[in-house]
Structure 1
């Protein structure tokens, strides 16, 4: 399994490849400019590798730094020449209670209309229904061609109910016409980590969970292929992820090994708790952001990770003022491994 986090500024857009012949899925489309800057050239490289279609186009949730480039992925199919076999996205029709339909041009509404108009498969792997964890029974698991198993860990029913009740408000918060929504208690943008980095002091920060309705509705998917596992956490809540992970371990009769965790919400301190890190214990942490917007990743998040999992590898898809300070805490053979994305991009083989 290969993970290619594309450069999407402060957003997410991640290609996953596996199998022979090679197959691919795309998780999120980043901000509006991500298609032209990163997705289009990445698709050209896929075609050269013989990939003819995305097995799935995943839209984790309606925040504009995840959904922004998705419309172009669909609209420009005749240009990039990659088919789309299924689109995974919880739109208004998948919400558990009725919600008012505002006269909005927000991207979530536009995407839903586009999927309907173009007749694309929409949540077909889930029988057309909502992608969520059920209240009882096994967690949803889909096996894609080529042997990639996908298990859904978020959202749950309460989070989709919250989204349904606040759908118009959530659309307004994530519209291109609006500024980035602020997390509770967060400043608009954090500065980079100060050097020298004091992990112990940073780790004393009090954890307070995210309250964004849109983030709570985020898909989080565990990807497994040939004994390797990667958790693509979207912007999901840590409490929801922790509950689902414990449930998964009970289903499988023991601990589940995790090779890579894509940190939720770009490393925000409200979306990854010390308890979740201690529960998951991933070998690698992937941080996908250039630091613009809010100044992600938050230093306390990485401090919690490094103290909970001393041998974890930090992987950034950008090399800049928000990632470079973390190289300074490695001295000789001691300290965490740190990997920075090159200008040409980043490819992780698990």
Structure 2
């Protein structure tokens, strides 16, 4: 198995070759991630006879969906894509009927058009057309649930692999619906019924612009950091409805077990893992873990990190915007006795990764920092 974590700025774009020539694509980062890294790789794979069996769009957020939208906008896909997993508006609906005038209102006021001013932007509408593109392209959509909402806990066979969907759960989906209803109430549209394309756009735009539901860990990296003391910081869970809707899953294939957490809430993951594997069997062994929400401590709780044992930890972020990953997250991983000389893989050279390479941190803790090359990081299991 080979896992590529591409440079995706503060987002995610992960390509997994789970068996030879068969791939799972998890999110697409921003447009420049697609153009500079993902597209050339997909062309190379296609030329060698490979296919993307599943595209997993974990949730509605610019740093996850923008590159996927760019991929689906192609007249001809650069590679064969068999199916897509993504929870769009039709999977989380509020009843509303609107006139053409109200549709125009929703499109212009909820899904406001903006000018493209930087490479992160994906289009004049900031990436609120993913559902429409999936429908137009006729892609097989959420096949494990027969087109319904992808949510845990379910297990699904994908060739020789098994995928266990851990998140979102029913409560997470309800929170997204509540968030959307509040926006409709604000604009006086809740008592009216929805139509399709306008509301796909408005729904996606609304969620992609949700304010962060996590604590900003303002910090300065210094060699004076005490990892034991840092891990004592109080945990405050993320309450973002959008992040809570993130599709997170376990991939099991050829005796390997990988945990891909998207931006999911730690509480949902803990509940699903205990249900899936049995609390008495904790800590649960994984061959690799992609940390939730770029290593945010609000999405990687002490409880979650306590019930996992793993030697390979993947961190996808350039540290922009919210200064992820958070040191308490890394401190819990490094000092956890369940982890045997853990390796922390970064897809960007960050101040914190460089700091943790200093010998002072390794006197009492056995761990390794793996820095990226120009194309991000690749690990083979």
TM range (shorter): 0.7 to 0.9
Corresponding position of 2:370: 339
Change beyond 3 A, Cα 1:192–1:60: farther
Match of 1:267 among 275, 295, 299: 295
Change beyond 3 A, Cα 1:125–1:107: farther
Q: CA offsets per residue over residues 246-293 of structure 1, 9 Å max, x none?
A: 001139977642111100000001000111101012221111001111
Corresponding position of 2:162: 149
Q: Does 1:83 align with 2:59?
A: no
Corresponding position of 1:136: none
Equivalent-residue separation in structure 2 for 1:26 and 1:119 (angstroms): 18
1:131 deviates by 0.5
69-78 or 332-341, larger mean C-alpha shift: 332-341
1:181 deviates by 3.0
Q: Does 1:69 align with 2:72?
A: no
Corresponding position of 1:223: 251
Q: CA offsets per residue over residues 165-224 of structure 1, 9 Å max, x none?
A: 21275755555xx5x83334426xx45532243202211210000011100100001011
Q: What SS is found at the alignment partner of 1:65?
A: helix
Corresponding position of 1:9: 9
Match of 2:335 among 307, 312, 330: 307
**Aligned pairs (5 A) from 1:129-144:** 129-133=148-152, 139-144=153-158
Corresponding position of 2:54: 56
Q: What SS is found at the alignment partner of 1:57?
A: strand
Equivalent-residue separation in structure 2 for 1:11 and 1:254 (angstroms): 30
Q: Which runs of 5+ in 2 are unaligned?
A: 98-102, 112-124, 184-202
Is residue 86–residue 121 contact of structure 1 (8 Å, CA) maintained in 2? yes
Equivalent-residue separation in structure 2 for 1:252 and 1:148 (angstroms): 25
Equivalent-residue separation in structure 1 for 2:164 and 2:64 (angstroms): 20
Q: CA offsets per residue over residues 67-88 of structure 1, 9 Å max, x none?
A: 111111112262x521211110
Change beyond 3 A, Cα 1:294–1:230: same
2-11 or 94-103, larger mean C-alpha shift: 94-103
Q: What SS is found at the alignment partner of 1:324?
A: helix
Match of 1:94 among 91, 109, 112: 91
Q: What SS is found at the alignment partner of 1:83?
A: coil
Is residue 284–residue 307 contact of structure 2 (8 Å, CA) maintained in 1? no
196-205 or 279-288, larger mean C-alpha shift: 196-205
Change beyond 3 A, Cα 1:255–1:319: closer
Match of 1:280 among 295, 308, 324: 308
- TM-score, length basis structure 2: 0.81
Is residue 27–residue 58 contact of structure 1 (8 Å, CA) maintained in 2? yes
Is residue 261–residue 291 contact of structure 2 (8 Å, CA) maintained in 1? yes
Corresponding position of 1:24: 23
Is residue 282–residue 307 contact of structure 2 (8 Å, CA) maintained in 1? no
200-209 or 311-320, larger mean C-alpha shift: 311-320
Corresponding position of 2:135: 116
- TM-score, length basis structure 1: 0.88
Match of 2:175 among 162, 170, 181: 162
Q: How many residues align?
A: 336
Is residue 345–residue 377 contact of structure 2 (8 Å, CA) maintained in 1? no
Q: Which of 1 and 2 has greater Rg?
A: 2
Is residue 94–residue 130 contact of structure 1 (8 Å, CA) maintained in 2? yes
Match of 1:291 among 309, 314, 319: 319
Corresponding position of 2:265: 237
1:42 deviates by 1.8
Is residue 154–residue 217 contact of structure 1 (8 Å, CA) maintained in 2? yes
